[in-house]
Structure 1
Amino acid sequence: MNASVENQAGLVEVRPGIHVWVQPDGSWWLNNAGAVTAGTTQLVVDTCATATRARHFLDALGAATGQTPKLAVNTHQHGDHTYGNSVLPATTVLIGQEQMREGLRTDPLIDGCPPFWSPVPDWGDVERRLPDITVTDALTVHVGDRRVELRHPGGPAHTTGDLVAWVPDARVLFTGDLVFAGLTPLVFMGSVTGALAVLDWLAAFEPEVLVPGHGPVLTGDDITRVLDEHRRYYHLVLRAGADGVERGLSPLDAARGVDLGEFADWADRERIVLNLHRYYVDHDGSDMDLIAAFMDAVAYNGGPLPTRV
């Protein structure tokens, strides 16, 4: 791993007792994580893709707060938010949505990453660590005298097992990958229409600080701006999918015909292929072929997908 790239990651206190670990540039496998600390209790929100990155996060958090996490929550199953779970203290109680737990239980990538990315990520000495407690719809966690509300959006969006962590007294919302700030959203394991619908649900919290799964922390008008960008992007995917189905195109050929317009400069633009695969399987009621979808994304990209993890 490139040390100079890793050193760009940093811990930001967005409200007293609420920290965010931001990993630029937020592209493949470079997620945000965070924590809520009050009294003698600390709740961690997500970990990181590799053991090294997860340890850097937890070391920085411990230095800033003097605490070790008693609780942790995963916002969804993907490895950039979960593979570092095993780096948490053994005594930390881990929480996740029911379908998130099952997704991580059967995730093959933790055992060996296929060469869809370059360089191929090395997770380090991580082990599959699953949630101890599962949530169906909602759970309130008490962190000292502070409430943290864990909510499922009610249907598939980024994945089928998404959770947000809402801190109402501070009006801070950790969205996981329901929001990507300034780079291409990914919904191939969820739903395009569900991801679009969830944006109104997120806005209804009226957060003052929104922590996306990837990209910079958002405040003020930037929250509305980024949610609106997501709406326009998902409408683009829906139009491209409908057009591709009508013309009998494959998801890859449909993607190649899309003018990404304002989204052309976003990182990970090849996700248009993965998102169209999701549109197609939802349209015809088939099962997602993840290998075929990633092979098409690599073909669209002209080679393996770049990562700096």
Structure 2
Amino acid sequence: MPAETPFTVPLAPGVSAYIQPDGGWCLNNAGFVTDGDRTLLIDTAATLPRARALREAVLASGAPAPSLVVNTHHHGDHTYGNCLFAPEAIIIGHHACREQTIAAGRQLHLVWPEVEYGEVDITPPALTYSDTLTLHIGDIEVRLIHPGPAHTLGDSIVWLPEQRVVFTGDLVFNGGTPFVLMGSLEGSLRAVERLRALDARVVVPGHGAVTDPGVYDTVEGYLRFLDQLATTARRKGWTPLEAARAADLGEYARLRESERLVANLHRVYAALDGEPVDVMAAFQDMTVLNGGRPVACHA
């Protein structure tokens, strides 16, 4: 593990975020909600050692072991640790999250085979929903909201209306480049509007530090920049890689994982062509854009 150790951030009575610095590739955030008798966990981690550290942090807070786990989407950094909590905990997610978790299988192993993940048993959500689902942990109301295809096809927003705390999953990266390769650019813009409408006080992004709704401006601005870039580059007949190499990121150059630009362009181009996106070709182009250095999983 890197020098920066994961840590817990109390957000409200019974509500905490679990932050894995610096929020780069595979270093996701999680969270948990407890009334002292039951605990709901929001997302797991990319490796079993990291999932064990997450479980230890929950127990160290005085909360009981999770009996419910919500997956905000299917990516392995948010779901690989499911097997550590099931079957004692019921895994919950959007129905497309379940389908994609099963279809993707050991997805992180394919991209980063060198990482020591542990004996990961792919464990998809056993309880699914379509549009909204409300859970109650004691007196704490937890609403799951599907915003439509956005970061992926099966995203869930986790909203605590009384506490005004929202866990966004990877609809929001704080300090990192938004990533729509497996979702939708237009859907991601709609998801930002859905998040804004909640009027949250505290925003827990999928990656990066706990923040406030001001982060939505950066996400939306980047997505609109991406839309304009893709439109102009397509008109010129440029490939996603050519467009990414020529792009001036401007204020978005400060965001980590800038190589995601070319993958995002793959997504937009595929949508315009009405074709499925080639995920592995997008990752290969990210490596090229990185100067031949592979995209690194930091877990």
Please, what TM-score do these two structures have when normalized by structure 1? 0.93
The code of the aligned residue for 1:41 comes to R
> How far is 1:288 from its partner?
0.7
Counterpart CA distance in 1 for 2:108 and 2:275 is 27
Where does 1:40-119 land on structure 2 (aligned, <5 Å)? 40-110=37-107, 112-115=109-112
Where does 1:148-163 land on structure 2 (aligned, <5 Å)? 148-153=142-147, 155-163=148-156
Residue 305 of structure 1 aligns to a residue in which SS?
A: coil
Counterpart CA distance in 1 for 2:111 and 2:45 is 19
Aligned partner (choices 126, 143, 164) of residue 171 of structure 1: 164
Give the 3 Å change call, closer, same or farther, for CA 237–110 of structure 1 in structure 2.
closer
The code of the aligned residue for 1:210 comes to V
Residue 113 of structure 1 aligns to a residue in which SS?
A: helix
8 Å CA contact 1:83, 1:110 repeated in 2? no
| Match in the other structure for 1:306 | 296
| Match in the other structure for 1:248 | 237
Give the 3 Å change call, closer, same or farther, for CA 188–111 of structure 1 in structure 2.
closer
State the Cα deviation string for residues 65-111 of structure 1 (Å, max 9, x = none): 23111111000000110000011142101101011111110114347
> How far is 1:242 from its partner?
0.5
Give the 3 Å change call, closer, same or farther, for CA 202–9 of structure 1 in structure 2.
same
Aligned partner (choices 260, 265, 269) of residue 280 of structure 1: 269
Residues paired across the two proteins, number: 298
Counterpart CA distance in 2 for 1:77 and 1:61 is 22
8 Å CA contact 2:38, 2:63 repeated in 1? no
| Match in the other structure for 1:185 | 178
Moved over 3 A (4+): 108-111
Structure 1 vs Structure 2 CA RMSD: 1.4
Counterpart CA distance in 1 for 2:225 and 2:139 is 44
> How far is 1:194 from its partner?
1.1
Aligned partner (choices 258, 261, 272) of residue 269 of structure 1: 258
Give the 3 Å change call, closer, same or farther, for CA 188–101 of structure 1 in structure 2.
same
Give the 3 Å change call, closer, same or farther, for CA 111–305 of structure 1 in structure 2.
closer
> How far is 1:207 from its partner?
0.5
Counterpart CA distance in 2 for 1:286 and 1:89 is 36
Greater shift in the superposed pair: 169-178 or 85-94: 85-94
The yes-or-no answer on 1:141 pairing with 2:138 is: no
**Tell me, which stretches of 5 or more residues in structure 2 are unaligned?**
none
The yes-or-no answer on 1:195 pairing with 2:192 is: no
Counterpart CA distance in 1 for 2:297 and 2:143 is 33
**Tell me, which stretches of 5 or more residues in structure 1 are unaligned?**
none
8 Å CA contact 1:110, 1:123 repeated in 2? no
Counterpart CA distance in 1 for 2:108 and 2:158 is 28
> How far is 1:180 from its partner?
0.5
State percent identity of aligned pairs: 43
Greater shift in the superposed pair: 105-114 or 172-181: 105-114
